[in-house]
């Protein structure tokens, strides 16, 4: 493949989708359903996502699943230090070619995850232990939930996460108390971030066209961010109570504590009605429950 644009280190133009598609066709590429590969092909939406991400110049910007690099070149224009993690060995060289003009852009050929409960060592090595950083991605459908839960659980979560995800996932991320979509992922993410859905993205704006609608979601790190240990307790409490979402809290806590009177006393002290179900709980109530349920760090 001929590398597009000017020499390394110069500001390159942002090529149209047709150039990316031509590079994919030249490589004989066919999208993998297993990897959840649906490529955004709308220039206006890509530009809007990069604008919404709003990374600071010089800040680390993590992109997961860059594919051929269509969104990546928009992100590279921000001046952030882009690390684009691509698992597909067919796509990484194509993305590398389109990002060659950007000295601060790296394509890391790796799986972002090591199982569902940790980032891979290659990714961990590049994430900061302190200071601000951000994330912007057209997240592969197959990893969106685990990746967002891991971001929320980090000692230093990113200050800003702008992701394109399935609408169903977007609904879960921002689900308020009382919503049927509210669950453990909602609580994990909301323990670290304020969540806003910015815009809908129709299936016809992707190649291949998915069978579901998508949404752009913005997560902004909470100014009152609980400690990492507190967020672990919140996640554990959410996992426990939502495992029995059809039961009342008194029954769930009685089983957990092994003592109905202790469960009722705890709920009374917290001012929570014993008959309420998990999905009705506000974030503040879940945080109080996590403290009272004697969940270890």
- The crossing angle, in degrees rounded to 10, of helices 17-26 and 92-99 is 140
Do 104 and 236 lie in a common domain?
no
Angle at which helices 283-292 and 260-270 pack, to 10 degrees?
140
pTM of the model as a whole = 0.91
* pLDDT at residue number 6: 40
Per-residue model confidence (pLDDT) at position 70: 96
Q: What is the pLDDT of residue 4?
A: 43
CA distances from 135 to 13, 80, 99, 125, 240 (A): 23, 11, 17, 16, 29
Per-residue pLDDT at 3: 42
- H helical segments located in the chain: 17-26, 43-53, 70-76, 92-99, 121-124, 144-153, 167-173, 184-190, 228-242, 249-257, 260-270, 283-292
Give me the domain span that covers residue 286: 228-292
Q: In this predicted model, what pLDDT tens digit does every residue of 262-288 receive, in sequence order?
A: 999 999 999 999 999 999 999 999 999
Number of domains observed in the structure of the chain: 2
What per-residue confidence (pLDDT) applies to 64?
A: 98
Query: 110 with 46, same domain?
Result: yes
Per-residue model confidence (pLDDT) at position 272: 96
Residue 89 sits in the same domain as residue 189? yes
CATH of the domain at 107: 3.40.50.150
Residues 27 and 12: beta-carbon distance below 8 Å: no
Instruction: Say what the pLDDT of residue 217 is.
Output: 98
Q: What is the mean pLDDT of the chain?
A: 92
200 located within any domain: yes
Which stretches of the chain score pLDDT less than 70?
1-12, 296-297
Within a domain: 56: yes
Residue 148 domain-assigned (yes or no): yes
Report d(CA 39, CA 208) in Å as an integer.
7
157 and 266 both lie in a single domain: no
């Amino acid at each position: 493949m001929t590398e597009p644009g000017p020499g390394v280190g110069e500001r390159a133009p942002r090529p149209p989708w047709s150039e990316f598609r031509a590079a994919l066709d030249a490589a004989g590429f066919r999208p993998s359903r297993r990897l959840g590969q649906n490529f955004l092909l709308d220039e206006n939406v890509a530009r809007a996502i990069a604008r919404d991400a709003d990374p600071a110049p010089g800040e680390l910007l993590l992109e997961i699943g860059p594919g051929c690099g269509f969104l990546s070149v928009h992100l590279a224009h921000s001046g952030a230090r882009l690390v684009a993690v691509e698992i597909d060995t067919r796509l990484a060289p194509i993305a590398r070619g389109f990002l060659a003009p950007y000295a601060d852009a790296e394509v890391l050929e790796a799986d972002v995850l090591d199982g569902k409960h940790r980032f891979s060592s290659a990714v961990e090595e590049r994430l900061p232990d302190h200071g601000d950083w951000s994330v912007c991605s057209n997240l592969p459908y197959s990893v969106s939930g685990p990746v967002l839960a891991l971001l929320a659980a980090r000692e230093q979560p990113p200050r800003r996460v702008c992701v394109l995800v399935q609408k169903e996932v977007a609904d879960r991320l921002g689900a308020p108390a009382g919503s049927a979509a509210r669950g453990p992922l909602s609580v994990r993410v909301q323990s670290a971030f304020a969540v806003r859905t910015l815009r809908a993205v129709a299936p016809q704006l992707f190649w291949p066209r998915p069978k579901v609608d998508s949404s752009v979601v913005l997560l902004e790190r909470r100014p009152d961010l609980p400690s990492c240990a507190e967020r672990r307790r919140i996640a554990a409490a959410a996992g426990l109570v939502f495992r029995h979402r059809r039961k009342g809290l008194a029954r769930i806590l009685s089983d957990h504590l092994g003592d109905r009177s202790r469960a009722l006393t705890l709920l009374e002290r917290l001012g929570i009605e014993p008959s309420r179900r998990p999905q009705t709980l506000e974030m503040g109530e879940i945080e109080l429950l996590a403290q009272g349920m004697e969940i270890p760090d």
